[in-house]
Chains A and B, each alone.
Chain A
């Protein structure tokens, strides 16, 4: 090779390197928070996708009428006040809610937000021709009157105590009537290109990779301090790499398998986000073996919950005995507990007629072995660990537990069909509990009529303390009957960078106050 040619190659190499380096440098002066999410929203159109992580993302773009603060109390958001009976916002019989709306809220396209948007949102959520999976209390609303643009009067036929909860944390995002009315919501490109009233506007959505959102300077809660927020969709491996490189300011909902890794990361802290969900073993109370309360109690005594919370959940949660977690205002502390006690479990099983006659360490009755199937969703390491530990523990009391794993979409119909004995899963309750688990699906086939009647009365009890009393009584009954086997509150774990300031998760989500965040 001649010398000039060699020089040319050298220069080309240098130029290439320079271009590559430049391409890697972010724009100067921009402040950005990067959030990792293990799941990508299917759609950003509110109310069509029930995933918690979709809700988290939508929280940046859309607003709820109210938000929940760190103490679990309601704060006004699109309204000027939280309605109460005292301020006249709620009628004495609990059937009418008068909402005073803010007059300084703008949609991302500059149009003003008003009472028509609230009414339109209700109409969408209850439209029977739309594939909306959960309509909640909105279905009980009989009318929303709009006497003026900044007043919405929500009317129920019967006393309703769940409205504020629903309007602040669940199906609560308000939709733009001026943009969507008269269009087909299932086909409109709004689902990929939404406008809301939230603190951030969607700039870019690269499927399978990330969402990029820019600050909305006209936000009614004040202009965000950050310039952008990026939500990166990263599974366990990709999230670990990004965290190790210090590229993320927040990682949402990490799995139990990543807990130890995250606890050892420098510059990050693992924090539990408020959540009213818990892990439990569903018991099919209707089954041939498990209809006997002594067997159910024996299983409860045979489960070492401390062992599981220590090993699988890294000790970040305490064992749970009630069917509402301690974070919930109506949690009952004084329910019957079943401490880990192999002797007690054995005695109960013997009383129930289950004995090991043939010495194979599995009990029998009338020649039938004590074999119980545990239904589980396949493919999640922490779920499998829990079920396997339970299997081991129950074999110590002479129960042959068999694990059956199926995919997530098959899980609910299998349980609804009663085709299970025990099933491991989590359940979440609302701030205002609706008890869909007991009064709706009732996969556990619990049939104590008086206890269920007590629960039905809750939705029409305006006094919160009286509601709490009834809910606590129900928890005591369930524990007494061992009709459900709670394990522990679900650890909803976020990994938070030292650089991120203002992170204040509540029941409204982890990103609800992102307009207050700063990144050092």
Chain B
């Protein structure tokens, strides 16, 4: 299994290289470069801006810039942020941790409530809960998080004053887990609600379908209780497909938390990426994007490995 993982990871190297070339070229497309951000202030002289381009190596041919970047990257040097004047890796990494808290919380909300609702509605034979679930998931999937987030903030934050107005912790206090959780709850629920909507439908449909399979009918004929049928026989099969969805979702969770991050002033990676793109801080943009590329690969390999754990039919060779 380890050799399989190693082979899969190594096999991804050409793809990572290709993606990095494409990203690097994409960044060259728009009219202004990193130094032009300063030109928005007309007190910056054209000579000074040209000098900055020289200092940052932006006047060199693109392929030279790319090779220099790649050479540094493989040696663990992710570049130096143009605007923040510190290593891009430090800039990105401090935000990654923040985003992982948020997405981890959202994932937990999504899994607990999504799977829970899906199983609960599959277990019942009554129509009303099933219809309610359908309505809930349509609403949940179509309401954008900037809107639901704003509503949550207005009602629970401003009107009731139950949740803080944003950020990751109370300013001026040392880090504490209860404080973090207090700040995390609302954004995690808002971001997670989308997953609750998606995954509850997914689990519900998967279970309903599996319950019609022959082996489930056989088990039922043997007199097993509906709950046991659901959890022991049907759920493991649904879980495997849920895993695929999760594996595909993981990178998007990291990058896609941006809107929620903006609404709740959460200092995460998505906001950093947007700000760095607008500020043309290419080293930070590349560092953040490459981190996401690596996440995609790791998530894919991890999903494949998890199949083996859940499904005894899967063998690695």
Which residues of A does B touch, CB under 8 Å?
16, 19-20, 23-24, 26-27, 30, 32, 34, 40, 42-43, 45, 48-50, 128-136, 170, 186-187, 189, 191-192, 204, 206-210, 212, 228, 230, 232-235, 237-238, 241-242, 244-245, 247, 406-414, 416, 427, 430, 434, 436-437, 440-441
Contacts and interface: CB of A to CB of B under 8 A. Distances in A.
Contact of B32 (A132, A170, A237, A411): A411
B43 A42 contact: no
A208 B41 contact: no
Given A16-B178, A408-B278, 17 more contacts: A23-B176, A23-B179, A27-B173, A48-B85, A130-B55, A131-B52, A133-B48, A134-B48, A136-B43, A186-B85, A210-B167, A230-B172, A234-B166, A406-B30, A408-B40, A410-B36, A440-B45
Interface of B: 30-46, 48-49, 51-52, 55-56, 80-86, 91, 94-95, 98, 146, 150, 153-154, 157-158, 161, 164-168, 170-173, 176, 178-179, 182, 262-268, 271-272, 275, 278-281
Contacts of A128: 51
Given A50-B44, A408-B278, A409-B37, A207 B49 contact: no
Given A131-B56, A192-B86, A410-B32, A20 B178 contact: yes
A135 B278 contact: no
B219 to A, nearest CB: 32
Given A134-B43, A230-B172, A409 B30 contact: yes
B179 to A, nearest CB: 4
Contact of A410 (B31, B157, B161, B167): B31
A96 B232 CA distance: 89
A207 B91 contact: yes
Contacts of B44: 50, 133-134
11 contacts: A23-B179, A42-B281, A133-B49, A207-B91, A208-B268, A210-B167, A235-B262, A241-B153, A409-B37, A409-B280, A412-B39
A232 B279 contact: no
Contacts, number: 186
A42 B84 contact: yes
Nearest to A214: B172
Nearest to A52: B41
A133 B41 CA distance: 9
Nearest to A406: B31
Contacts of B49: 133
B170 A26 contact: yes
Contact of A212 (B80, B98, B171): B171
Contacts of B272: 207-208
Q: Top 3 A-B pairs ranked by shortest CB distance?
A: A208-B267, A412-B39, A133-B38
Contacts of B182: 20, 23-24
Contacts of A436: 42-43, 45
Contacts of B51: 128, 131
B266 to A, nearest CB: 8
Contacts of A207: 91, 94-95, 267, 272
Given A208-B271, A238-B265, A24 B278 contact: no
Nearest to B159: A244
A413 B32 contact: yes
B43 to A, nearest CB: 4
Contacts of B39: 133, 412-413, 416
B103 to A, nearest CB: 15
Contacts of B157: 241, 245
B246 to A, nearest CB: 27
Contact of A237 (B37, B43, B82, B150): B150
A50 B84 contact: no
Given A245-B165, A409-B30, A410-B31, A238 B98 contact: no
Nearest to A34: B171
A474 to B, nearest CB: 16
A245 B161 contact: yes
A39 to B, nearest CB: 9
B26 to A, nearest CB: 14
B267 A42 contact: no
B41 A134 contact: yes
A242 B166 contact: yes
A233 B279 contact: no
A192 B91 CA distance: 12
Contact of B279 (A30, A42, A434, A440): A42
Among B34, B268, B271, the most chain A Cβ lie within 10 Å of the Cβ of B271
A241 B158 contact: yes
B267 A135 contact: no
A132 B172 contact: no
Contacts of A244: 158
Nearest to B272: A208
Nearest to A377: B40
A487 B230 CA distance: 69
A446 B49 CA distance: 22
A238 B82 CA distance: 27
Contacts of A49: 83
B62 to A, nearest CB: 17
A413 B176 CA distance: 47
A43 B41 contact: no
A50 B38 contact: yes
A208 B154 CA distance: 22
A163 B38 CA distance: 22
Contacts of A235: 262, 265
B157 to A, nearest CB: 6
A377 to B, nearest CB: 9
A45 B158 contact: no
Nearest to B45: A440
Contacts of A136: 43
Given A212-B171, A410-B36, A234 B41 contact: no
B78 to A, nearest CB: 15
Given A133-B49, A135-B45, A208-B268, A238 B40 contact: no
Nearest to B43: A134
B167 A232 contact: yes
Contacts of A43: 83-85
Contacts of A212: 171-172
B287 to A, nearest CB: 14
A407 B278 contact: yes
B142 to A, nearest CB: 20
B175 to A, nearest CB: 10
A209 B172 contact: no
Contacts of B168: 206, 209
Contacts of B267: 206-209
Contacts of A409: 30-34, 36-37, 40, 278-280
Contacts of B35: 131, 133
Contacts of B42: 427, 436-437, 440-441
A130 B279 CA distance: 19
Contact of B46 (A42, A192, A437, A441): A441
Contacts of A42: 81, 83-85, 279, 281
B27 to A, nearest CB: 11
A171 to B, nearest CB: 9
